[in-house]
Amino acid sequence: MSPAMHPDPDSEEAALERRVAELEQALKASEESLAIERLKLQQTEAALLQMAALFGNAPVSLILMGDDGRITDLNAEAERAFRCRREAVLGRPLEDVIDPVDREEARRLIAECLEGAVQRGVERLLWPGRACGLEDSTLMFPIRNAAGEVVGAAMTEDLTEIKDSRSLLATVNRELRQLAVLDGLTGLVNRRSYERVLSREVRRAARSREPMTVAMIDVDEFKAFNDTLGHAAGDAVLRAVADVLRGAAQRAGDVVARYGGEEFVAVLPGVDAEGAARIGERMRSEVEQLAVPRDDDDSAVVTISVGLATWVPYRDSAPPKIVEAADRALYQAKDEGRNRVVVVDLGRDGPARSLGADAGSSKHEAS
């Protein structure tokens, strides 16, 4: 038999190893993608809970409808005003639960409202056989989300209690827009809003020649914590850490945001390297003092690592990559053992401190 008829064992083995490596890489990518999607789902669920609280506690009758005009929700005030049970009307077209005399008029009003029109002087909309007391002053108006899309309609039973209907509309829509700039889980500013704040503060610092600091904060070994104690415990930790960070950066102008996952970021206008070290150490120590067990046997507590970068503008100086510098400082804090604070002073020769629970000294870090 010729050599060409015998496969090369080494070649087959190498090809198999390459294939295994490719499959492992694909599996890792799939796991990372799944983790991202899981996080997005958690954030969406938290935002929906916030929306539900706003909706349920509104002091006016609120009814939400889908694009097909079917009732998707109504709040307690609407149940009281219309003398109906929520469960009895969910999923039904609003026009079907209006008194037959008014259905044609209701159909027109609803269609126009869902297209964005504000309806004033609504004559009367009655549940079958039950007067709900709505008078000529009744107002129906669209509720919009942050993107400007109509997501429902609101009706008030007596505008004598509301001096300015446009003020009510502005209040409701302002609350809805606020939900679009906040992180649903922690209540902190979300990443998109933080990026706008950062851009604004960099420009302001350049004009005023005043220092500014950016902090990157990461919950140490959070994935292991989540895997051991579960996502509910992980969410509780993220909320607790967010509360500490919010309390540590509470001056006017300070902004703390959730950057993504277990990572947070803070923009601290007017803060120099010395101030950054104090704020970062307060964040670190107060999270440690929460004494949240990191595993089942209480052998360790949840901690954070903090990287801060400070920039003092000089004449004709260009804004540095301050976020990247803070991120490098964060990685340095983790490399040095976690539960630490590293401060980098950009463009200045001077000490940048590396602090931790066991650190009694500081060292220089210049960029």
Question: In a 3-state reduction of DSSP, which class is residue 238?
Answer: helix
Cα angle, residue 229 at apex, residues 225 and 230 outer, rounded to 5°:
100
Other CB atoms within 10 A of residue 235 CB: 16
CB 183 within 8 A of CB 43: yes
87 is an active site residue: no
Which of 225, 326, 233, 336 shows the shortest CA–CA distance to 279?
326
Tokens 């669920």 -> residue: 45
Residue type, 227: D
Residue 355 β-bridge partners: 341
Structure tokens at 298: 């209480």
d(CA 62, CA 170): 15
CB 239 within 8 A of CB 324: no
d(CA 170, CA 225): 42
All residues at 6 or more sequence positions from 97 whose CB lies less than 8 Å from its CB, including other chains: 71, 84, 89, 127, 128
Other CB atoms within 10 A of residue 192 CB: 10
Torsion angle of the four alpha carbons 230, 231, 233, 234, in this order, in degrees rounded to the nearest 10: 120
Catalytic residue among 201, 262, 281, 365: 262
Beta strands 119-122 and 62-65, pairing class:
unpaired
Q: Could you list the active site residues?
A: 262
